[in-house]
């Protein structure tokens, strides 16, 4: 079980707040976050890599809740953004722009220009075309753009294929041979400063030597770049640190760091990193209420009021999330004998057969109206939510100790039609083009 979510006397707490009270007060579906988890994970990374004093750029895309971004900025985090919108969000949360890195395979000119205007630390450059684009936009603005080459080290992160990014056939990064050729291009182009080398080989990586292998593979390249007198400052090792969804499958951060540190030291560069899920994943739960208990054929369906629009990971990655009643005499994952337990499919109300949170899961017998917690929902949960089926997005609550506050209001059905018109305000004709 995640550290800040615990059962006391058969009641689930987030830190010191009973989550049933949150659901009763604020409704469901509801995302509940433990702020201490987020800041604690940042602290754990800081400690594991203390000897190289890492620049931790929290990956905004994993969980972009403003209140949490603010908490992270306050403990000294920088941010990893993949769009103009994420840079804007990070800045609104109080980020120091000089601690923002900007990744992504398809940056538009307006996004590059915005990042330059705000004075970010560096762009993670993913192609030669992007070098040209950044140089052009920086020249127009009359500034120098800090860049890092995102290398594709061709290592197998041994994770789900949809979240693997560091193999040769992936769309991400530049292979090392091509990167060598692009050094010449960087010299020719104006307004670029090659500050770093960047890697990000995938997500939810649970083997502790994958990153070390990737870094080891790019050390010779780094030496070449330094020998060629480029002003390299950073090795950015990316994110992807795997967490526990089921039991103890997550990375041990100390052992993970121990594998990487010798290689980082060898580069002589400052370390930057971009953890997303590691910081946020086990810091959140999704609370949902059972609408109906529906026996059908040989199955028992628990139909809940959260759906794939709220949390899409099970539908698109076949992801496992622990689910347990918020009030239960049984400890989470306990074996439940006899009639006290039943095998359920936990599903949402959306009209898609992939709208399933759990299949054939043995849980304590659960009645209509009871609350369930879906665990490990702090990463790629709300951040990937949509309004599919015209379902307003859930509210988000941040808990700290025995205090809580609503960090994002529940959307209303009126919010869902904002910006739309029933009839034209102005009609254009093709003939006038
Ligand atoms: C998504 C992403 C991350 C964060 O990945 P996690 O698996 O959540 O740690 C870091 N860096 C880049 C470039 C990314 O695209």
- Ligand 1 nearest atom to the CA of residue 62, by list position: 8
Last residue of a domain, one of 277, 301, 332: 277
Residue with tokens 């103009």: 84
Q: Would you state the pLDDT for residue 291?
A: 98
208-211, Cβ contacts within 8 angstroms, sequence gap of 24 or more: 208/251, 208/252, 208/255, 208/256, 208/259, 209/259, 210/155, 210/156, 210/157, 210/158, 210/240, 211/237, 211/238, 211/240, 211/256, 211/259, 211/260
Strand ranges across the sheet with 5-8? 5-8, 11-14, 17-18
Tell me which residue has its CA closest to atom 3 in ligand 1.
239
* Rounded to 5°, angle at Cα 171 from 61 and 175: 115
- Ligand 1 nearest atom to the CA of residue 61, by list position: 1
DSSP 132-183: HHHHHHHHHHT-PEEEEEEEE------S-GGGB--STTSSSSEEHHHHHHHH
Mutational test site, ligand 1, from 59, 72, 173, 284, max ligand atoms within 8 Å of CB = 59
- Select which of 57, 65, 77, 351 is catalytic: 351
Residues 243 and 315 in one domain: no
CA distance readout (Å), 368 to 294, 325, 365: 10, 12, 10
Would you say 153 and 178 are in contact if contact means Cβ atoms under 8 Å apart? Answer: no
Last residue of a domain, one of 226, 250, 277: 277
Residue 238 CA, ligand 1 centroid: distance in Å: 6
Residue 140 CA, ligand 1 centroid: distance in Å: 30
CATH code at 196? 3.20.20.10
- Ligand 1 nearest atom to the CA of residue 281, by list position: 8
Residue 152 CA, ligand 1 centroid: distance in Å: 14
- Helices and strands per DSSP (H, E), number in the chain: 11, 21
- Residues in the ligand 1 pocket, defined by CB under 6 Å: 59, 61-62, 80, 82, 103, 200, 203, 238-241, 274-278, 379
Residue 204 CA, ligand 1 centroid: distance in Å: 9
Residues 227 and 241 in one domain: yes
Could you tell me whether strands 11-14 and 17-18 are parallel, antiparallel, or unpaired per DSSP bridges?
antiparallel
Residue 310 CA, ligand 1 centroid: distance in Å: 20
CA pair distance 195, 205, nearest whole angstrom? 27
Residues 107 and 177 in one domain: yes
Residue count of the chain, please give it: 433
Q: Is 169 exposed, middle or buried (0-12, 13-18, 19+ CB in 10 A)?
A: exposed
CA pair distance 131, 125, nearest whole angstrom? 7
Q: Would you state the pLDDT for residue 159?
A: 81
Residues 351 and 318 in one domain: yes
At 165-207, the pLDDT tens digits run 777 777 888 999 999 999 999 999 999 999 999 999 999 999 9
Q: 424 lies in a domain?
A: no
Residue 275 CA, ligand 1 centroid: distance in Å: 6
CA pair distance 2, 21, nearest whole angstrom? 20
Tell me which residue has its CA closest to atom 10 in ligand 1.
239
- Ligand 1 nearest atom to the CA of residue 103, by list position: 13
Last residue of a domain, one of 261, 277, 293: 277
Look up 351 and say whether it is catalytic. Answer: yes
Residues 391 and 270 in one domain: no
How many CB atoms are located within 10 Å of the residue 304 CB? 27
Q: Is 401 exposed, middle or buried (0-12, 13-18, 19+ CB in 10 A)?
A: exposed
Residues 23 and 95 in one domain: no
Structural domain containing residue 307:
5-32+281-417
Q: 156 lies in a domain?
A: yes
Q: Would you state the pLDDT for residue 34?
A: 98
- CB-based contacts of 407: which residues, under 8 Å, 6+ apart? 33, 65, 66, 67, 68, 396, 397, 398
Closest CA to 32 of 283, 245, 253, 276: 283
- How far does CA 237 lie from the centroid of its chain? 16
CATH code at 303? 2.40.37.10
**Total tally of structural domains belonging to the chain:** 2
Residues 121 and 270 in one domain: yes
Residues 229 and 364 in one domain: no
Residues 288 and 166 in one domain: no
Q: Would you state the pLDDT for residue 161?
A: 78
Residues 217 and 110 in one domain: yes
Would you say 282 and 275 are in contact if contact means Cβ atoms under 8 Å apart? Answer: no
Residues 326 and 399 in one domain: yes
Tokens describing residue 348: 């949402």
Mutational test site, ligand 1, from 44, 62, 164, max ligand atoms within 8 Å of CB = 62
Tokens describing residue 335: 């074996």
Residue 430 CA, ligand 1 centroid: distance in Å: 44
Neighbouring C-alpha atoms within 13 Å toward the C-beta of 67: 17
Q: 428 lies in a domain?
A: no
- CB-based contacts of 78: which residues, under 8 Å, 6+ apart? 55, 56, 57, 58, 95, 96, 99, 100, 101, 121, 272
- Ligand 1 nearest atom to the CA of residue 163, by list position: 7
Q: Would you state the pLDDT for residue 278?
A: 98
Closest CA to 273 of 335, 325, 188, 214: 214
Q: 429 lies in a domain?
A: no
Query: Could you tell me the pTM of the whole model?
Result: 0.96
Residues 144 and 78 in one domain: yes
CA distance readout (Å), 394 to 32, 49, 266, 412, 421: 10, 36, 47, 10, 25
Q: 427 lies in a domain?
A: no
Tokens describing residue 186: 């960087």
Ranges under pLDDT 70 in the chain: none
């Amino acid at each position: 079980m995640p550290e800040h979510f615990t059962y006391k006397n058969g009641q689930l707490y987030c830190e010191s707040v009973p989550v049933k009270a949150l659901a009763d007060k604020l409704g469901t579906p509801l995302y509940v976050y433990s702020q201490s988890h987020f800041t604690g994970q940042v602290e754990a990374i800081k400690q594991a890599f203390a000897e190289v004093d890492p620049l931790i750029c929290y990956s905004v895309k994993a969980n972009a809740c403003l209140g949490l971004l603010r908490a992270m900025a306050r403990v000294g985090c920088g941010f990893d953004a993949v769009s103009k919108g994420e840079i804007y969000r990070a800045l609104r949360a109080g980020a120091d722009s000089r601690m923002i890195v900007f990744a992504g395979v398809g940056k538009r000119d307006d996004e590059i220009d915005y990042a330059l205007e705000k004075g970010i630390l560096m762009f993670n450059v993913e192609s030669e075309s992007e070098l040209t684009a950044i140089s052009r936009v920086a020249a127009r603005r009359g500034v120098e753009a800090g860049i890092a080459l995102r290398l594709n080290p061709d290592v197998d992160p041994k994770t789900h294929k949809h979240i693997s990014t560091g193999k040769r056939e992936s769309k991400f990064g530049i292979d090392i041979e091509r990167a060598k050729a692009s050094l010449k291009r960087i010299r020719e182009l104006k307004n670029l400063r090659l500050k770093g080398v960047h890697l990000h080989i995938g997500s939810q990586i649970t083997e502790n030597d994958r990153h070390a292998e990737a870094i080891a593979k790019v050390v010779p390249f780094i030496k070449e770049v330094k020998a060629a007198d480029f002003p390299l400052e950073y090795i950015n090792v990316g994110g992807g640190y795997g967490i526990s969804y089921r039991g103890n499958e997550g990375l041990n951060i100390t052992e993970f760091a121990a594998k990487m540190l010798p290689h980082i030291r060898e580069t002589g560069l400052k370390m930057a990193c971009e953890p997303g899920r590691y910081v946020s994943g086990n810091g959140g739960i999704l609370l949902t209420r059972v609408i109906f208990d529906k026996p059908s054929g040989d199955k028992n369906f628990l139909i809940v009021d959260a759906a794939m629009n709220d949390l899409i990971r099970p539908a698109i990655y076949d992801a496992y999330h622990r689910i347990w009643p918020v009030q239960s005499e049984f400890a989470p994952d306990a074996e439940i004998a006899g009639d006290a337990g039943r095998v359920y499919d936990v599903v949402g109300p959306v009209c898609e057969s992939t709208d399933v949170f759990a299949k054939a899961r043995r849980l304590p017998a659960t009645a209509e109206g009871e609350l369930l917690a879906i665990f490990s929902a702090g990463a790629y949960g709300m951040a990937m939510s949509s309004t599919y089926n015209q379902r307003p997005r859930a509210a988000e609550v941040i808990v700290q100790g025995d205090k809580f506050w609503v960090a994002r209001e529940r959307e209303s059905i009126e919010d869902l039609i904002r910006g739309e018109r029933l009839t034209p305000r102005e009609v254009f004709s093709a003939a006038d083009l």
